[in-house]
Structure 1
């Protein structure tokens, strides 16, 4: 039936496309997880560095612009910087990747809902990357994978 739909003139293009899809589908998840981990680590790390460059400005932002509900601005700033300093390191190492991704996803949701709702195109990209890491983990090039292998008795 495909022979009737696809003209012989396009056969080479279909074969090339099919071969390319096969190659793409063979890429190990580990190699896909690395840029996800590094991208999200960079976003959060850079945010921490900006806050630490001028702590007074950071507190002013949390007081005047961010206005996270319930939390006092100083506490919100300390919590944000603590998350932005620790979770990127965990992602880069591939250590506690799923909990780190969950915390980052929670922080992203708070930023989206309470601080910058108009930035949803960026936040949905962050959420997509974090959801993949949450669902699939860091891949084999990670401390998490080494720990799991050791715990399962496969790390010999």
Structure 2
């Protein structure tokens, strides 16, 4: 019986540690995803001629004309990561980046297996943010926290 009690206490401590570290882990995931996608978008902007060439000849985005796909791809890689980094409208940003990531995989038939693994990793991290939220250290959490009754009623 004593071993079961010890195991229960250890599990409770592990659970408390995981809960305490959740905001830090969510922030780390947001920083990593931001870095990957934002710098990819910046690279597209730095050499727009090359970007248009790639979207015309290498990337085959379904339905969209290459110039529109290039603008949408670069825009998505710049805007959604900033929203995620701030943790503002995090689920919307995560859904947008998930689509950007998926379109990248679909549109570029020359992806090597190692590159596909990167996209799978990014998809999993983005899905984590979508389903679990951006964490307590985010604008979403700050803006959505309960306010005291006096502030809600307009009294100071």
Q: TM-score, normalised by structure 2?
A: 0.79
> Aligned residue for 2:98?
105
CA offset digits 1:131-153 (Å, max 9, x no partner): 1100111111111001111xx43
Mapping 1:69-88, distance limit 5 Å: 69-88=62-81
CA distance in 2, matches of 1:89, 1:154: 30
User: Residue 153 of structure 1 is aligned with which of 109, 127, 147?
Assistant: 147
Residues 1:24 and 1:63: Cα distance change in structure 2 (over 3 Å): same
The number of equivalent residue pairs is 139
CA distance in 1, matches of 2:18, 2:142: 25
CA distance in 2, matches of 1:59, 1:26: 45
CA offset digits 1:6-25 (Å, max 9, x no partner): xxxxxxxxx9xx69x83853
Structure 1, unaligned runs of 5 or more:
4-14
CA distance in 1, matches of 2:148, 2:133: 18
Residues 1:114 and 1:146: Cα distance change in structure 2 (over 3 Å): same
3-state SS of 1:126 partner: helix
TM-align CA RMSD: 2.4
3-state SS of 1:28 partner: helix
* Displaced runs of 4 or more, over 4 A: none
CA distance in 2, matches of 1:78, 1:57: 13
Structure 2, unaligned runs of 5 or more:
152-156
CA distance in 1, matches of 2:67, 2:148: 46
Residues 1:134 and 1:26: Cα distance change in structure 2 (over 3 Å): closer
CA distance in 1, matches of 2:136, 2:122: 22
Mapping 1:15-34, distance limit 5 Å: 22=14, 25-34=18-27
> Aligned residue for 2:116?
120
User: Residue 89 of structure 1 is aligned with which of 72, 82, 85?
Assistant: 82
